[in-house]
Amino acid sequence: MMAFFLGMQGCTQPVQEQPLSEPETAPMQISVAFWNIADYLAGDSLQKYIEDKFHVQFVPVNITYDNYPSKYQEMAVADELPDIFAHDIMGTSVYEAWIQDGKISALPSNLSEYPNLEAYLETPYNQRFRTENGKIYAIPRMTYPSEELWALDRCILLRKDWMETLGLEEPQSWEEFVHLLQAFVNEDPDQNGVNDTGGLTSVHLNVLEAVYLSIFPELSNTERGWLYENERWMPVWASSRTGAALDQMQRLYRDGLLAPDFAYVTQKKAKEDFSQGRVGAIACQYYAMLKHLASEGELEKAQDMILVMRPWPAEDGNRYRFTTSLHWSETYFGGNVNRDKMERILQIYDWLLSDEFERIYRYGLEGTDWVWKGNEVQPLDETGNTVLLNKYPSLNIFGYLADWNQQDQYEDTSANALLFGKENVQYARELLRWYSENTVRVNYNYDIIFMSTPSKNRLISNRDVQREMVRAIMSHEQASLAWERSMQQFYADTTLQEAIDEVTAKAKEKKIVG
């Protein structure tokens, strides 16, 4: 088994922790924004345990994956950003503007009172996120401990049952992929005698970029990717190869193989379109689809329904997997957080990164779900049928506030078998092994990706770039021509040229080679 799988760790019984200082009269209110938090933070016994431990009351501020950028922008304009919120703006113009405008608070320079948090932020990976004056304005929330574990987060899922009905094999080239989508649209794969099936949809424009892995691998991550081309560093979308890739996507759109609502469909509807047989392919994280099926009471259908389409060789002969930084989102603290509240928040975060909370995340509450047997944890539920994320819904928030712990879903455990289905977890593990043995990372350089220069920090947002890409794909003229005009506007009206010049010069100064 690959080394990056994390096994269940042995435990040593800790020294009894000292309680916090005497509580104030009323709990301190701390507002928290997290995706779908209203579904999970409703007062279960774990939430009460944490609130009592730190003498706080958590006030949920709900956001969704479909609306969080606009919601946060509205809050920022009104000077109402929550005390704690999760976002993905590091290295963007929004990040720089919010620092300048005081919308987000810096962490104290001395974190010695929070040893777990201090150690977390002192890792070489996290050190690169200090500003040039040494301040930290965000806590990167690690998704995985290894790049390889990202493979199934940006991929294409196919209706396996439809393929078997039509006698289709997994595509090994772009033309075979097009042929498969044509069959899904035109050959009645659900055998109901009605022309009511579609080709490809997507839960998000970012995830749809999985299509590019085998035709222009660098374009599979427009949000973060930079590449070296013609002796210059540039965002991947500024490459001379982007127009041709958009032409291929436009072909899918014009031929009715890409869902007409691909640019604005909600994640929920896209997943329903796939699971309910309205489309035969979806750009979606594998585990996100499993969770959707579980929520619909249809998890048992996954094995017969889902085939993850593995990348075929690109022009250079390599198969590429989705590659990105170890984190994709960060924790921020609103600009209105005062010193006392910041201290309390950092106490909580330090604890979320502690061995004590790790035991809660894995085993539940001491005395309720497990007891010490010598120096070992002894679960009280001998059947192994307790799913902590269901028993304690708030664990879906507290378990991911400091870091995502996403690697845990690949572990061969009874809890994962109950949550996702034993065969589905095994399939995911087998896929990760295949990706590890048969694919290579896209050649991104994190020193470039997270490099800070004045013009790079003010670069046009990825959402604006994607908007222009969508316009090119949906254009009545050839996508590459429409995109060429968009690029001319980017060079004329944004800091793109200056960003390219500054990053190229700084990379040369630091001896970073392409």
**Rounded CA separation 20/23 (Å):** 8
How many separate helices (H) and strands (E) can be counted in the chain?
23, 15
**Rounded CA separation 268/254 (Å):** 25
Residue 22 pLDDT: 53
DSSP code of 409? G
Residue 387 pLDDT: 84
Residue 12 pLDDT: 52
What's the number of CA atoms in the CB half-sphere (13 Å) around residue 134? 3
**Rounded CA separation 281/189 (Å):** 12
Angle, CA of 245, 251 and 257, to the nearest 5°: 120
CB 119 within 8 A of CB 355: no
* Equal CATH topology for 28-145+326-419 and 155-321: yes
**Rounded CA separation 445/192 (Å):** 50
User: Rounded to 5 degrees, what are φ and ψ at 201?
Assistant: -125, 180
Domain 155-321 sits in CATH at: 3.40.190.10
Q: Looking at the chain, how many residues does it have?
A: 514
- In sequence order, which residues have a C-beta less than 8 Å from that of residue 476 and are 6 or more positions away? none
Structure tokens at 355: 């061995």
**Helix axis angle, 339-352 relative to 355-363, nearest 10°?**
60
Residue 216 pLDDT: 98
Residue 25 pLDDT: 82
Residue 381 pLDDT: 85
Residue 8 pLDDT: 37
Mean pLDDT (10-residue bins), the chain, 514 residues: 38 51 78 96 97 98 93 97 95 89 97 97 91 93 93 97 98 98 98 97 97 97 95 98 98 98 96 98 97 94 98 97 94 97 98 95 93 91 79 95 90 90 97 98 93 91 95 98 98 97 97 90
Cβ-based neighbour number of residue 100 at 10 Å: 8
**306-309 and 156-159 as β-strands: parallel, antiparallel, unpaired?**
antiparallel
From 3.90.1150.10, 3.30.70.890, 3.90.480.20, 3.40.190.10, which CATH number describes the 28-145+326-419 domain?
A: 3.40.190.10
Would you list the domain boundaries of the chain?
28-145+326-419, 155-321
- Three-class SS of 276-342: CCCEEEEECCHHHHHHHHHHCCCHHHHHHHEEEECCCCCCCCCCEECCCCCEEEEEEEECCCCHHHH
pTM of the predicted structure, to 2 decimals: 0.86
Residue 93 pLDDT: 82
Residue 365 pLDDT: 96
Angle, CA of 397, 403 and 407, to the nearest 5°: 100
3-state secondary structure of 85: strand
DSSP 210-230: GGGGGT-GGGGGTTT-EEEET
CB 462 within 8 A of CB 222: yes
What are 321's strand-pairing partners? 441
**Rounded CA separation 60/510 (Å):** 44
Question: What is the identity of the amino acid at 276?
Answer: Q
